[in-house]
């Protein structure tokens, strides 16, 4: 197999097609973010990258808080819309039929329709060229009870989450394994 070489580009995918909320429940705003991920587990840390000309950039800069709301297949159109419309002149919550809900740890609202919401508090920010990276601690997670199994675990397979890859939206497929499955010892069957 041969590979074709291209100059460096933002081609790490898939990533969550996340709706980031900022502001307050009385004055909420939402934008679509494809540049996000986990950077640390203890403490739980994430980041989002936002262009400085985006309406939400100054809100996040001023308030130092945001919520990452994970989206579902059924929210694809609304997720895209929140990435191309500006909150400066559009109430995207009303336009998309989203319900802002008061978060537990931050003033920024979460979206009721999203199955998982990560409440984040900015710890630092850095202009990296076209985007400002907001590094944040995840101070709370809000998970929809309908996706929590009998053992108290979040069953992400039932959420119908959506991913973003190089300008396109995708439904997530079937589960292939879980962390450590490749080295886990098989349980011996007891014969009677």
Can you give the residue ranges of every domain in the chain? 15-171
C-alpha to C-alpha distance for 90 and 178, rounded to whole angstroms: 41
pTM flag (> 0.85)? yes
Contact predicate 108/56, CB 8 Å: no
- Per-residue pLDDT at 192: 66
pLDDT tens digit string along 85-135? Answer: 999 999 999 999 999 999 999 999 999 999 999 999 999 999 999 999 999
Q: Which residues pair with 46 in a beta bridge?
A: 38, 136
Alpha-carbon torsion (27, 33, 38, 40), positive or negative: negative
Q: Choose the CATH number for 15-171 among 2.170.120.12, 1.20.1530.20, 3.30.365.10, 2.30.110.10.
A: 2.30.110.10
């Amino acid at each position: 197999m041969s590979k074709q070489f291209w100059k460096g580009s933002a081609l790490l995918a898939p990533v969550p097609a996340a709706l980031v909320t900022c502001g307050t429940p009385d004055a909420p705003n939402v934008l679509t973010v494809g540049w996000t991920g986990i950077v640390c587990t203890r403490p739980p840390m994430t980041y989002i990258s936002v262009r400085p000309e985006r309406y939400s950039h100054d809100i996040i800069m001023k308030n130092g808080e945001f919520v990452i709301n994970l989206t579902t297949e059924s929210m694809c159109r609304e997720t895209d819309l929140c990435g191309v419309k500006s909150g400066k002149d559009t109430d995207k919550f009303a336009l998309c039929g989203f319900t802002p809900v008061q978060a537990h740890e931050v003033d920024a609202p979460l979206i009721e329709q999203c199955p998982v919401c990560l409440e984040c508090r900015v710890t630092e920010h850095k202009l990296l060229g076209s985007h400002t990276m907001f590094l944040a601690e995840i101070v709370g997670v809000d998970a929809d009870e309908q996706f929590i199994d009998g053992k108290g675990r979040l069953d992400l397979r039932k959420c119908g989450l959506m991913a973003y890859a190089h300008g396109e939206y995708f439904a997530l497929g079937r589960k292939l394994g879980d962390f450590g499955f490749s080295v886990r010892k098989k349980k011996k069957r007891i014969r009677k």
